[in-house]
Chains A and B, each alone.
Chain A
Amino acid sequence: MSELTGITLSRARDLLTKGEVSSKELTQAHVQAVEAARSLNAYITETPDKALKMAEASDARRAKGEAGVVEGIPLAVKDLFCTEGVLTTAGSHILDGFKPPYESTVTGNLWRNGAVMLGKANLDEFAMGSSNETSYHGPVENPWRRQGDNRPLVPGGSSGGSAAAVAARAALAATGTDTGGSIRQPASFAGIVGMKPTYGRCSRWGIVAFASSLDQAGPMTRSVRDAAIMLRAMAGHDEKDSTSVDLPVPDYEQALTGDIRGLKVGIPREYRVEGMPQEIEALWQQGIQWLKDAGAEPVDISLPRTHYALPAYYIIAPAEASSNLARYDGVRFGLRAEGAGSLEELYELTREAGFGREVKRRVLIGTYVLSAGYYDAYYNKARKVRTLIAQDFHDAYKEVDVILAPTAPSAAFAIGDLVDDPIAMYLNDVFTVPASLAGLPAISVPAGLSGDGLPLGLQLIGKAFDEETVLRVGGVLEDAAQFTHEPAFVAGR
């Protein structure tokens, strides 16, 4: 590991600012790290030439005194973000060869703020998955291993490539997207920080859509401060996204005061689920104690409809997905199946060949729940439940400022363990989905290790557009946890 890849983004920024390192040096070190980490399969597309060009341009800008918020910082971009002229696959066979003629707003914001692109990170196909095993481009390996067990583990999903790259020091930070937990759960599995901002905070324009009412981009980093810096560079109002909110983007770093005295932290009793490992419960208790020690006041709260969040999510998300994925038809871009004699056949063969099993499953579920005669029983019912879940949070925030809960019900599991059990796989999202349904900001902070040496995250859920409190409390948690463990695999080591 180069000393330039092992540092945090904020440290790198300071070195760049002081002129102790150039973006080109920093980027070169990371390009090497990306190569060294190939065994993880964290990247679908590496863009070293582009990275070096961007780094040179960044150094030139800095020389002119025009440094942006993330000037010169090399990043991994989840391959769900459209990048102009660069292959964008969404982890699917059906987007074979697709080079968008446009740049997503979020990546555009990052480049405008000076960042450098190392490549496109692997992910579950169309972000549908919790283990990165549904990617057409193969599973990603978690850089972590259980103690005394060399079986490869999943990095979580769907932003598994982003999580693995950041954990393995093959990127200073990465973009992720979170629909039901796709940033937070892999962050927890890979021992990094992952933040899903409030729905509407980051533009969805140019991000391949999975479930439009839930999708939200966010940062994946090795520290809370890095997440604050990244979010500031990613967020902002976008006229091209009707659901993007026109609010000023604060300097989130300013929120990291470390002072949470008097803050009320809600502890939702419904997150104590059956079968949850004792060590996760213990870590949660530890988290409560840390925050108490820092002067916050834990408050027992109830989010009574929590139990129904997951089934509601697994109706709403597939329903939207079934419609969002209708455009992949072999006509205007991507894969077209050979040998179709009619348009109908072309559609059916292309989508048969182009979509993987999990995507097909969800498209079919989504088609079913929207179809005549079932709409009210499933889709409308789920939307009503969603209203109630949002109401639960709304009521809770009358009493508390932020909510603390585990991120995931388990540590990383082995590749292949859950692939044949969709529902067991879906249960990974049990703690992350409620905040997604309510559109609330949430962060996962690495807080400790499991008995067999795997990272575990704690999650903080905030009020809408109050990312600052989430980050501030996250920073306190991070300081208290002192999570300095490193994964078994670190690039270049």
Chain B
Amino acid sequence: MLKALDEERRPGRIRRIRRGATALGVAVAVGCGVVACESSLGEAAEGGMFRLGSDQPIDSLNPFVAVVSESFSVFQQIYPNLVQLGPGDRYVPEFATDWTTSRDGRTWTFHTHAGATWSDGRPLTAADAAWTLSTIKKFQDGPAASMASHVTGLVSATAPDARTVVLTYSRPVANVLTQVTSVPILPEHVWKKYAGGDGGALTTFTNSAPVVCGGPFTLVKYVPKQVALFRRNPEYYGTKPRIAGFGIQFFGTDDAMILALKSHQLDGVQNVPNTSVENLEAAGFEVVSSPGLSFDSLTVNANPKQRAAHRELADPRVREALDRAINRDEIVRTSLLGRGRPGSSIIPPGTAHWYDRTVTPTPYDPEAANRLLDQAGYRRGPGGVRIANGHPMRYPMILPDDTSSGYGLRSFQIVRSDFARIGVRLTPRLLDNAAANDALAADDSKEFTMSMWAWSGAASDPDDTLNYLTCRSWGTLNDTGYCGREWDRLYAEQGAAMDPAARRRIVDRMQRMAARQRILLVLDYADKIEAHSRSWTDLPLVGGESFSAESKIPLQSVRRAG
């Protein structure tokens, strides 16, 4: 009886549940639909909102504090720069309309746009550029240390009139244009009050939205770790962007970001994982691969004073054997899924025209590698592991987060298998980046044996990458255990070579030197992959990026298709 009554009432309950589910569904659908429409309202008539996704959040809106590249891409869009990088990796005018260099290469004169204004209506002049560079110079050992390399050799920055900036250097500096490309020109009337005393206030100013801007876009909204929104700046002195604005949303995982793109919650994504390329292409997205600006490398401790327990690693024959034992084609095929190329030089092919094509990848030749180790006297012992100086050739490989969280773990497995064929055994040592840094620098770089990490440089100039291996960078960027006078001398020479051909010869020589001495074993160059909806067009990439730290051009140019 009770059961029967219950059966009778059930349909009503089901209806209620259905009604509830329907209401919930409608609410959720309204939530999606309404907001999707809302996002395009208003902006559509003005060119639309270009929505980007990124896995790297902005760390700060203050150029004296920020360190991640995404932040400098933001500064590139909201602040003027004297020059910028154009398609073809050539420097083109930005706030400076033209520039000249003195015969001795020590004085650079830039002429700037007339009548420019900041977003608050105040005049934007050459004085702002001179003040910014002078302030960085003044505090380069303290609050402005993160931008110190942009004023290398600078003695003074002056503005003799509102349209002229004169930079005077203590010696000829070859990469002045690269340096000034990376310096956002700040509004002196906003920042000057923070530059008193020791300049400490420069780093505590949050520069929150609404930021006084002078670039093609103004920052209108910034929610840390979530989003930054930009609107076209009607006061911009240069070519006005075609879009009403753009936004960049930050994601915790690549999977969510790629799915957001596929479901058209985003219009474009930077740093597409190799594993998502086919998927996105099949879904009709435009996927653009560019030669990478970074290289993946295997560092074998080059410090001649390293611990006796692994001092054989500094032996050139051992380094050559390890190099020859690596199957780079397999790494490109399996780890990068074919989206990259085998590594050779420490200057990646994406760095403008600086890559030396005569430095070719070391051919995979395990027989030759075995012969080299035999000649060195390191015979195989129990389990096929070679014995060097009385100990088995077993080495821990430091794998920082950056490596182990991506395709790097696959590359490690290939290298481990390659090395096992020549009697060298590797064990992974997974560490987070901070701990890996400490492990590499421990005991003045005498402790570690090997590591795998990626290096990246600027799109236009090799200086950054060459600097990694200088003795001055020991303990900060240089985690190879290598320090050579010859390298440092050549580094200084290329930095002062004003003749591009002469500089090119020195840089090529350094690339060949790094390859010959096997300071780093360059494994591969992963392509830089971006994807965007075909609803957008005219999006040139500069340095493989649309949201670039060195150019305003891509986001000035992009527009809705059709």
- Asked if A and B are interacting partners, one says no
Q: Which residues of A contact B (CB under 8 A)?
A: none
